[in-house]
Amino acid sequence: MNRFLDIKPEVREAIEAGKPVVALESTIISHGMPYPQNVETALNVEQIIRDNGAVPATIAIIGGRLKAGLTPEEIEYFGKKGPEITKASRRDLAMLCARGEDGACTVTTTMMIAHMAGIKVFATGGIGGVHRGAETTMDISADLEELAQTPVMVVCAGCKSILDIGLTLEYLETHGVPVIGMGTEDMPAFYTSKSGFKVDYKVDTPAELAHFFQTHLELGMKGGILVGNPIPDEYSMDPDIINPAIDKAIAECNSLGIKGKATTPFLLAKVKELTGGDSLDSNIRLVYNNARVAALTAAELSR
C-alpha cells in the first residue's frame, strides 16, 4: 500500500469485505460553495450514499496524507478553510505530500487516490474538459487524461457547461474512454439534461451499468468510464437563462485574463451571481442525484 495513504477504518472494512464504496471529491467543499453550505452539502451527499446501500469515502489531502474517507470534523475543517486550500491536480500531489500540506482533490486526484485505495466508483458534479478556445489556449483539463489511464467509474452530470462539450467528447473518444448515458442517449450538460451531443452507449439501470463496468475491468481495459447522469427535470435550468449567463461569464473571464486552475471557480461563481443563485441550487441537486446513482451502481457491482 502507498505509504502516504490513510484509509478511514469504516472504508477499509467495507473494501476488505467487498462491500460497496463510493468516492467523493473535496474540491466541491473547499472551492465549490461558501461555508457552511459546503459542509452541509458534503454531509448530505455522504448520507445519500449510505441511504442507498454504500459507504461514502470523501477524498482529500490533509497534512501531506492522502485521505480515503474523511471524518465529519475533517469535512468541517475543509469547509471553513475553503479556497485557502490548494486545488490539487496530478502535478500537485507529490509536492503537497512532500511539504505536508493540504489539498482539495479534483476529479483527477480523487480518481488516483480512490484507485490506490481499491475504490471503483466515484460520484461528482461535473468533470473538467476542453475549454472553449482550447485550439489556441490548449486549456484541457487533466481529468480527461486521468479517465484515459485510471480504471474508476466516474458518475457525473456531464462536463461543466462552461466548457466545449463537443470537443470534450472528441478528446475522450480519441483516448478510448467510453461515455455512457444513464437513461439517455444525449450527453447531459450539467445545468441542463441535454447538450445536443450523443453518448457512446445508453443504459437504463444501475445493474446494467455495473455489468458493463465489470466487463470493462475483466477485459483488462486501460482507463475508466464516464457516466453522464442527467440532472432531474425539476431542477434543470432553462437553457435560455443559463446559456447567456455562461457566455457572459466566459467573456468576462477572458477580458480579465484569468487562466489555468482559477478559470473554473471564477466561471462557476460568476454564473451563480448572474443567475441569482439558481445555478448553485441546480449544482447541489445534480450532485445528490449522482451520489444516489453511484451508490446503487456500487451496490450492484459488489454483488
- Among 67, 87, 160, 270, which one carries the catalytic annotation? 160
d(C-alpha 236, C-alpha 189), whole Å: 10
**pTM summary value:** 0.92
The reply to whether 234 belongs to the active site is no
194: phi then psi, degrees, rounded to nearest 5:
-135, 140
Mean pLDDT, each 10-residue run in order, the chain (303 residues): 92 98 96 91 98 98 98 97 95 97 97 98 94 80 96 93 89 97 95 92 98 97 96 87 80 81 74 73 93 98 94
pLDDT of residue 1: 60
pLDDT of residue 76: 97
**CB-based burial of residue 202 (10 Å sphere; 0-12 exposed, 13-18 middle, 19+ buried)?**
middle
**CB-based burial of residue 36 (10 Å sphere; 0-12 exposed, 13-18 middle, 19+ buried)?**
exposed
- Among 8, 25, 146, 300, which one carries the catalytic annotation? 25
Residue 272 CA: distances (Å) to CA of 40, 242, 276: 18, 10, 6
The reply to whether 173 belongs to the active site is no
d(C-alpha 287, C-alpha 129), whole Å: 18
Domains of the chain in sequence order: 1-119 (3.40.1790.10), 126-303 (3.40.1790.10)
